[in-house]
Amino acid sequence: MQLQGRTAVVTGGTRGLGRAVAQALADAGAVVVAAARDVQDAQPDPVAGGGRIVQVKADVTVPQSVEDLMRTAHERYGGPHIVVANAGVSRPGPVSVLSGEDWDTVIGTNLTGVFHTVRAAVPFLQEAGPGRVITVSSLLGRRAMPGAAAYCASKAAVERFTEVCALELAPKDITVNCLSPGFIEEGQGRALMANEVLWPRLRDTLAAGRPGTGAEVARAAVFLASAESSYVNGAVLPVDGGVRW
Ligand SMILES: NC(=O)c1ccc[n+]([C@@H]2O[C@H](COP(=O)([O-])OP(=O)(O)OC[C@H]3O[C@@H](n4cnc5c(N)ncnc54)[C@H](OP(=O)(O)O)[C@@H]3O)[C@@H](O)[C@H]2O)c1
């Protein structure tokens, strides 16, 4: 699956799962614009496979920031042809005490941020075509976990949003699919695994007997970004090794 000549934008591409996805897309030959609020290095970072990763500052909660991100990617590298709406946050807490601010942060980033990202990308994806959009939900988008109301709600909504976008954008030669990772040894998943009360119970639900790796999620992202997935549209692809829950 080769991505030479393709430009990808990965929101939240500087850390955790997003970083693993950015790396895999670059290894497949794409120029990857990894966007986040806190970027450390704007210099190109050459990688094996002919691709490279560049970091650009952007905040997905701010529409103008995401529009600037897409324009910057287009002017510097062409495209973008691939957009991975990965940036996400979590604010755990029971509904009875969850603050409105935490709720807004989660929904504003995980759901409205995905909307801003996709909307800003569409004109560029359509012009560069064929376009690929990959959103990122979670196992918790279809399974309820006490203490994760805002996160679960945001990820369930991302899945329906993805399916609507897939129908709307297919005539523009853009596919829109969603990755739904389970428990992954990367980013927020690492914090969960450090929870000595919760993690032993969750670990017992893993059919594979182990959590996934960032690279395993990233390989699925490369497939959805590639020409090989040309007739896959509106899919929610679990990458969770099988979970008994
Ligand atoms: N790790 C897992 O086990 C797991 C499982 C299922 C789903 N997921 C999903 O996978 C995605 C990545 O999660 P992760 O675990 O890799 O998280 P992470 O390590 O916390 O990384 C989150 C990334 O998003 C960026 N980000 C956060 N808010 C942003 C904003 N407003 N604008 C732009 N960038 C922003 C962060 O950079 P800055 O803070 O510098 O902006 C960072 O690069 C999320 O959507 C998450 O819900 C993860």
Q: What is the CATH number of the domain that holds 29?
A: 3.40.50.720
Q: Write the residue with the smallest CA distance to atom 29 of ligand 1.
A: 87
pLDDT tens string 126-156: 999 899 999 999 999 999 999 999 999 999 9
**Does the residue 41 lie in any domain?**
yes
Backbone φ and ψ for 110, nearest 5 degrees, come out as -75, -30
Residue 77 annotated as catalytic: no
Q: How far is the CA of 13 from the centre of ligand 1 (A)?
A: 8
pLDDT at 245 exceeding the cut of 90: no
Pocket perturbation via mutation, ligand 1, pick of 59, 65, 83, 86 by most ligand atoms within 8 A of CB: 86
Specify if 153 maps to a domain.
yes
Ligand 1 neighbour 184 (Cβ under 6 A): yes
Domain of 193, in residue numbers: 7-238
Residue 244: inside a domain:
no
- φ/ψ of 129, rounded to 5, equals 15, 160
Query: Is residue 1, in this structure, part of any structural domain at all?
Result: no
Kindly state whether residue 93 falls inside one of the protein's structural domains. Answer: yes
Q: Is residue 195 part of a domain?
A: yes
- Is position 2 within any domain? no
Q: Is residue 41 predicted with pLDDT exceeding 80?
A: no
Residue type, 234: G
Tens of pLDDT, residue by residue over 172-207, are: 999 999 999 999 999 999 999 999 999 999 999 999
Average pLDDT, the chain: 95
Closest Cα to atom 2, ligand 1: which residue? Answer: 189
Whether residue 43 has pLDDT greater than 90: no
Distance in angstroms (rounded) separating the CA atoms of residues 79 and 127:
8
Is the Cβ atom of 169 under 6 angstroms away from ligand 1?
no
- Ligand 1: distance of its center to the CA of 202 in Å? 21
- Residue 245 domain flag: no
pLDDT at 87: 99
pLDDT mean over 69-96: 98
Q: Mean per-residue pLDDT for 28-47?
A: 82
pLDDT > 70 fraction of the chain, expressed in percent and rounded = 96
Ligand 1 atom with minimal separation from the 110 CA: 45
The pLDDT of residue 4 is 96
105-133 tens-digit pLDDT: 999 999 999 999 999 999 999 999 899 99
Task: Check whether 85 has a pLDDT greater than 60.
Answer: yes
Q: Is 204 in the pocket of ligand 1 (CB under 6 A)?
A: no
Instruction: Find the angle CA(9)-CA(29)-CA(137) to the nearest 5 degrees.
Output: 40
Catalytic residue among 151, 162, 220, 224: 151
Tens of pLDDT along 159-170?
999 999 999 999
Whether the CB of 60 sits within 6 Å of ligand 1? yes
Q: What is the pLDDT of residues 52-78, one digit of tens each?
A: 999 999 999 999 999 999 999 999 999
Distance CA 69, CA 79 (A): 12
| Domain count across the chain | 1
Residue 42: per-residue pLDDT: 57
